[in-house]
Structure 1
Amino acid sequence: MDARWMLRRVYGADHDDPDPGPRLGHAYVELVGGPLDGLLLDVTGRSRRELADGAALTTEIGAYGAGGRAWYRARPGDGRVWQWEGDTP
């Protein structure tokens, strides 16, 4: 795991979690752009098909507020980085 990731927050970690960073033995992608920029997403155990589909991640800070979702998909040529593609209700 990239050493710089060890200090990053993982998407879905509670704000009061004393250790919101990545866990050893897990696989992560970096979220880039949009409301979740800079977070890591745990993709441990996801199939190639699931990874190819990307993810609609719940967020309160996107364009649609509470309950809205931010779409992220792998950056072409770099599956370790997922780019923001937009928000949806």
Structure 2
Amino acid sequence: MRIYGTEAGEPSIRRPGHTYAELIGGPLDGQLLDVTGWTAQQVLDGALLISEIGMYGQGGRSDYAGREVGRGQLFWQGDTP
């Protein structure tokens, strides 16, 4: 799993042949998650993403999930240790 826009000065570049979901809200807001090969259901279910800048710091995870099929966005649900 790769998140784009996480390194200082790193552009959020979309690579040809890849599918991305924009992360909305929370500590990873505005970054892109490479969801190439994910099913529509997997995008709706979302993912727990490692986020050292979330509520629980190092080792914590941020929960992102979809709301509508085909929107290309994952919305922050909260953080977990």
TM-score of Structure 1 vs Structure 2, range by shorter chain: 0.7 to 0.9
Aligned-residue Cα RMSD (Å) equals: 2.4
**C-alpha distance in structure 1 between counterparts of 2:53 and 2:27, whole Å:** 6
Alignment pair present for 1:70 and 2:66: no
Q: 1: CA distance between counterparts of 2:6 and 2:75?
A: 23
Instruction: Identify which of 36, 45, 57 aligns with 1:53.
Output: 45
* Structure 1 stretch displaced more, 69-78 or 79-88: 69-78
> What secondary structure sits across from 1:49 in the alignment?
helix
The alignment's TM-score, normalised by the length of structure 2, stands at 0.80
Q: Answer 1 or 2: higher relative contact order, Cα 8 Å, separation at least 6.
A: 2
**One-letter identity of the residue aligned with 1:63:** M
Structure 2 gaps, min length 5: none
1:50 partner amino acid? Q
Calculate the TM-score normalised by the size of structure 1. 0.73
